[in-house]
């Protein structure tokens, strides 16, 4: 994938063939401190998965072509999307999960049946956490969400879906 590494702004070419599979964190400059590669690479190692996560610094003008190259490479399994591309990447993906589409932002992409699909783990993670630790179900509940910054909009979208039409979502910002 020499053409992919030429599209990146990492300074050094990444060795995308050092493992059978690879993941990435795509953003303007994740190589300058993103923690995702350390976390995922440790998980891959512990689970004996022949994969590595690479930070991929991408200029805005190269985003579309980077996604095209990743789509072509069946060894690319997906990864994280960070600033400022959580919105900009959507038109280049094959598909976006319905709730992620409603939020208008994706922070994660994965490969399924040859397609790159965008999702939003902020909202899904909030629902999972609430239902695992506090309530079995949010259906028909009243929920107060404090704050709308950062992941707040995604969380609000997912909660609104989980509570259903008979639930109430109150937002204090």
pLDDT tens for 64-75 read: 999 999 999 999
How does residue 2 score in pLDDT terms, banded at 50, 70 and 90?
A: low
Instruction: Just list the catalytic residues.
Output: 86
Distance between CA 93 and CA 99 in Å, rounded?
15
The confidence score (pLDDT) of residue 63 equals 96
Q: Which residues, including other chains, have CB under 8 Å from residue 86's CB and lie 6 or more apart?
A: 105, 106, 107
pLDDT in tens, 94-147: 999 998 898 888 999 999 999 999 999 988 899 999 988 888 899 999 999 998
């Amino acid at each position: 994938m020499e053409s992919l590494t030429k599209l990146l702004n990492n300074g050094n070419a990444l060795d995308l063939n050092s493992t059978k599979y690879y993941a990435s964190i795509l953003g303007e400059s994740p190589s300058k401190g993103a923690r995702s590669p350390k976390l995922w690479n440790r998980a891959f190692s512990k689970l004996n998965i022949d994969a590595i996560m690479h930070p991929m610094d991408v200029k805005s003008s190269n985003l579309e072509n980077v996604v095209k190259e990743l789509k072509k490479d069946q060894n690319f399994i997906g990864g994280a999307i960070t600033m400022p591309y959580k919105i900009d990447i959507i038109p280049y993906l094959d598909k976006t999960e319905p709730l992620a589409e409603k939020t208008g932002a994706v922070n994660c992409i994965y490969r399924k049946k040859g397609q790159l699909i965008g999702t939003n783990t902020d909202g899904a993670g909030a629902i999972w956490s609430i239902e695992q630790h506090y309530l079995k179900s949010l259906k028909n509940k009243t929920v107060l969400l404090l704050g709308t910054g950062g992941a707040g909009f995604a969380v609000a979208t997912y909660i609104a879906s989980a509570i259903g039409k008979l639930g109430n979502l109150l937002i204090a910002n």
